[in-house]
Structure 1
Amino acid sequence: MSISHSMRRAGPAAFALLLIAAATFGARAASLTVEDDAARIVVDTADLLARPDATEVTIPADIAYGGTSRRYRAVPLTAILDLLPNRPPPGAVLEARATDGFAAQVPLSLVRPPTPGEPSAWLAIEPSDVPWPNVSGRQASAGPFYIVWERAAAGRISPEYWPYQIAALRIVEPPAVRWPEIAVDAALPVDHRARRGQEVYTAICLACHRMNGGGAGEMGPDLNRPMNPTEYFQPEALRRLLRDPASVRTWPEQKMPGYAEAELSNADLDAVIAYLAQMAAQRPVGSR
């Protein structure tokens, strides 16, 4: 394990090299970067599997593997974040960046040590000598590192909070603080549906889709530049897209999943659409 303190975040080129390295080595010895604004730590597969708190966990409904039961060698996610010397600030978020451009924004308030009856986050580690099976529709497994949850249903953990093929974990500010351009107009009433929509968008959509340039995800297009989906989809077609994308349009490289009502309630689906409409209305002039 290597540690460097007072090291600022690596630039885009350095992170791109990290992603290439992670993708190249696959199930062989892989490295994971854990960082915040002041420190950067790099651990590898062997480091993590040799930890005394590494244990076997059973995930009865694994998101990456189609809801089947899977068993992993894993370490409590809190223990990995505790490698950093500084305490995270209130409201901080864990950004989990994957090799394919996915960048989940997981509230640290959800990441807690294993507790009876409550969701518990683990970092599953793919052994170099026993690779996991490929994820459905992909030519690679969920490894080398994958955040899995015990008792996820107890806390309605978003499907996007199960990032896999992870290359880096970073403690950052909340998305709307980090990227003010994703926030709805502060003058909106406190009970405006778009406010709830912003929360849902941050949990479900921001990992892949930026908003007005704000966000870290690179898997899908920005959903307000140059146009917003509410400007070219009829409302019912947009709802259908979110429920079952392939029923609206499909192509060989399609990656967007559908969201069943158990994952995205009808009320939250309508809130996301209200948020998109609001962002279209407040898009800065000339930003198309």
Structure 2
Amino acid sequence: MFANHAWRGLLPAACLLLGLASAATAANLTLDDGTRRVELDTAALLARPDRAEVAIERDNAYRGPMRYQAVPLSALLQDFPATDPEATLEAAATDGFAAQIPLATARATGPGAARAWLAIEPPEAAWPSLPGKPVSAGPFYIVWERPALSGVSPEYWAYQVAALRYVASPARRWPQMVVDAALPADHPARLGQGVYTAVCLSCHRINGAGSADMGPDLNRPMSPVEYFQPQALRRYIRNPSSVRTWPDQKMPGFSVEQISEAQLDGLIAYLEHMAARRPAP
């Protein structure tokens, strides 16, 4: 159902002027698997017969209830099928954010699982600005119904999306982020690798592994475990601004509901483990 087009780039997101939201602009969404690339524009997505109005009770980006014009992500992916059944869906945003969403989670449709939608910002009805930001979550935003049923990471709520790509799983794509194979199966660093992949990899690289460009590499040249006291690091992950602030601070805090204490223990164990496995310069 798709036609191939040359890449034309993504039009900039709507900005605020004097505190008032301007009209949203039409945009293009790229779907890419490394060999095929297609583009869909705002009008084409809004014209799909499976477009629906979706009510999200607790929107991750807007921190409250929201309603969107959206298409089922599973249907969009079915129209552009992955050639690799073990692929991961990378949702790349205009600001350098790149979420690594398990393909099975993105495709799920059953009542016992979370369901993903691609929300589309209509040009004639711009969404409000994100809290503390001068732009909206548009032009495209992955939102979730029943996210708790599938343990959806807060980072899977990818906004300002420009491209959806089928890629290899992070562990296959970047072996330098994988823990030592000799670690016991129950070692907390193994749990921590999963937490890092679901949460941190969307913004940060580690040992150069990752495709995001929002935050610094978390192991080169130093790991946070090497310059933070243990309690300060835990506090920083929970509430960054309680430790240090700066004008362009982007990192959110992660509550116990988003990263449990056991997961946080695992994440810190993973960072400690990787600090000891840092490749030579």
Quickly name the TM-score band, shorter chain normalised. over 0.9
Q: Equivalent of 1:208, from 203, 212, 227?
A: 203
| Aligned twin of 1:159 | 154
Match of 2:19 in 1: none
In the TM superposition, 1:176-255 aligns within 5 A as: 176-255=171-250
Cross-structure match for 2:20: none
Residues 41, 199 of structure 1: CA spacing in aligned structure 2 closer, same or farther, 3 A cutoff?
Answer: same
Kept in 1: contact 2:74–2:109 (CA 8 A) = no
Partner Cα separation in structure 2 for residue 214 and residue 3 of structure 1: 33
Q: Is 1:54 matched up with 2:70?
A: no
Is 1:72 paired with 2:68? Answer: yes
* Alpha carbons of structure 1 residues 113 and 188: separation in structure 2 relative to 1, 3 Å: closer
The aligned counterpart of 1:277 is 272
Normalised to the residue count of structure 1, the TM-score between the two structures is 0.90
Which residue in 2 is equivalent to 1:147? 142
Which amino acid in the other structure matches residue 3 of structure 1? A
CA RMSD of aligned residues (A): 1.9
Secondary structure in structure 2 of the residue aligned to 1:278: helix
1:88-107: CA deviations, max 9, x gaps? 42331110010111000000
Unaligned stretches of 5+ residues in structure 2 = 16-22
Does residue 1:138 correspond to 2:155, yes or no? no
1:23, CA displacement in angstroms?
4.0
Of residues 14, 18, 24, the one that matches 1:27 is 24
Which residue is 1:3 aligned to?
Answer: 3
Unaligned ranges ≥5, structure 1: 8-13
Once residues 46 and 218 of structure 1 are traced to their aligned partners in structure 2, the CA distance between those partners, rounded to angstroms, is: 29
Residue identity matched to 2:24: A
Partner of 2:142, secondary structure, is strand
Corresponding residue for residue 96 of structure 1: 91
Pairwise CA distance, 1:109: 1.3
- Conserved 8 A contact 2:86-2:169: yes
In the TM superposition, what is the alpha-carbon distance from 1:118 to its structure 2 partner?
2.1
The DSSP-based 3-state class of the residue aligned with 1:257 is coil
Equivalent pair of 2:14/2:135 in contact (CA under 8 Å)? no
> % of aligned pairs identical?
58
Q: Which moved more, 1:107-116 or 1:29-38?
A: 107-116
SS of the counterpart of 1:261?
coil
Which amino acid in 2 is paired with 1:18? G
Q: 2 CA distance for matches of 1:78 and 1:273? A: 34
Q: Report the CA distance between 1:2 and its aligned residue.
A: 6.1
2:107 alignment partner, one of 112, 120, 131? 112
Distance in 1, Cα, partners of 2:140 & 2:162: 7
2:115 aligned with 1:124: no
Secondary structure of 2:274's counterpart equals helix
CA–CA separation in structure 1 for the residues paired with 2:186 and 2:127: 45
The aligned residue for residue 10 of structure 1 is none
* Structure 1 residues 109-165: Cα deviation after superposition (integer angstroms, max 9, x where no partner): 101353224210000000010000000111110000000000112222110000000
